[in-house]
Copies of this chain bind each other. A is one copy, B any other.
Amino acid sequence: MQMESANKGIVTEEMLKISKKEGVPVEHIMKGISKGRIVVLKNINHNIEPVGIGERLRVKINVNIGTSMDHDYPEEEIEKYRIVENIADTIMDLSTGKDASRVRREILRISKLPVGTVPIYETAVKMLESGKAIVEMDEDSIFRSIHEHLKEGVDFITVHAGITKDLVERMKGARRTVGIVSRGGTFIAAWMLHNGKENPLFKDFDYLLEIAKEFDATLSLGDALRPGGLPDSLDQYQVGELLNISRLVRRAREKGVQSMVEGPGHVPLDQIEMNVKLEKIITDGAPFYVLGPLVTDIASGYDHINAAIGGAVAAFYGADFLCYVTPAEHLALPNVNEVYQGAIAMKIAAHAVNITRFREDYMRDMEMSIARGNLDWAKQLRLSIDPLNASRVRKERYPKNGNVCTMCGELCAIKILRDYLNRA
């Protein structure tokens, strides 16, 4: 158990591995875990290398995959996993298709990365499959799904424990532009309205903590009320839920359970800094896991770029973990290529922040610049974020003189100056 060990000042094997991988003193890792400012993603039942997320560690990126009811091809999701396994730091399987649990087990089996899920999706899908309404699900079934996922080795789960009955009731008459856009959050919200009861994940949070603790899993406290559009950013519902979540973070820490906090969503560029700072202050530095954020609402088809802008800025201000967004967001379930494009875009955002903090990461950029100055094309292509793609573009449009590229040709600045200085 990472947190209990950290509290006792015991260095675990996982802490050592993270310390080595990040090049950060193990004491920092241990203290960070103890304070709840660093989480270690690794279920005791999952045979993977642990990934550390949080204070002064590298910014990480998550890639979502998973079948949907309208597009249910498990083998395509496995292909999505394969294409990003060397780019992403974690994978979330959000399958809601027919054989969702089979997809999850397969991803857990093959993944070398920590795997996250949203167990309530399964609870909801099972209701629909048995011809019932989602709002009729019973409380036990919610916890049963959670237990099943964690027992199978899921490393982190999104639980919408911060959305409470009073918040949802206040929302009824309210003018929220896009309402609720979190799937899991909506299930809980509709359930509470229908049954007139408090959110079981909030009410029985201690039970949730017990289950998580059994497997040393990390709770990702989902923001059911995240804004679904810029007009809803930082409204009373988002902030109200964050306040609830901050209390849950404290309770998790008290019980020695690791937790992180999920954040928006759609955020105007001038509100990203305050979103991050608010989370950090209110939760006393809990790892912040943001979805993008998207800095405009109109970039459908290009939301991976939109999210890369928001993600880079959020990480710069202290967000620890960036969930990618694909070009298909707001339009359709992404295909394999869109998953890849989304992962690359968010990787660029994370890397741009990591190189300002970690000399080792920066060295790749340094080497690239040296290769550019030397017109060393083989090395430039090899150091590119996507060497195959870079090589393809260059090959397709190979210059007359192999030292340069077709953009400037013989007018290449680097070549001219080098030639001139060599002659001079």
Contact = CB atoms under 8 A, between A and B. Distances in A.
Interface residues of A, number: 110
Nearest to A228: B372
Given A312-B313, A411-B96, A296 B178 contact: no
A180 interface: yes
Contacts of A135: 420
A321 interface: no
A406 to B, nearest CB: 4
A240 interface: no
A420 B193 contact: yes
B421 A172 contact: yes
B306 A389 contact: no
A365 interface: yes
Contacts of A385: 298-302
Given A96-B408, A353-B269, A417-B189, A364 B298 contact: yes
Nearest to A308: B305
Interface string A39-78: 0000000000000000000000000000011110000000
Contact of A183 (B305, B348, B362, B411): B411
A383 interface: yes
Interface stretch (A17-25, A143-151, A324-332): A324-332
Given A330-B405, A332-B394, A180 B414 contact: yes
Contact of A69 (B124, B300, B301, B409): B409
A351 interface: yes
Nearest to A272: B316
A134 interface: yes
Contact of A296 (B194, B304, B306, B365): B365
A325 B249 CA distance: 43
A417 B183 CA distance: 10
Contact of A305 (B332, B345, B390): B345
Most buried by B among A185, A187, A302, A345: A302
B394 A356 contact: no
9 contacts: A70-B409, A71-B406, A177-B369, A178-B373, A183-B411, A189-B417, A266-B369, A327-B393, A332-B393
Given A230-B362, A331-B405, 17 more contacts: A70-B397, A70-B400, A71-B406, A96-B409, A125-B411, A177-B372, A179-B373, A179-B413, A229-B373, A269-B316, A295-B352, A296-B351, A297-B365, A297-B368, A299-B348, A301-B393, A330-B372
Q: Closest 10 interchain pairs by CB? A: A229-B369, A186-B413, A70-B409, A69-B409, A332-B397, A295-B352, A297-B365, A70-B406, A300-B384, A297-B368
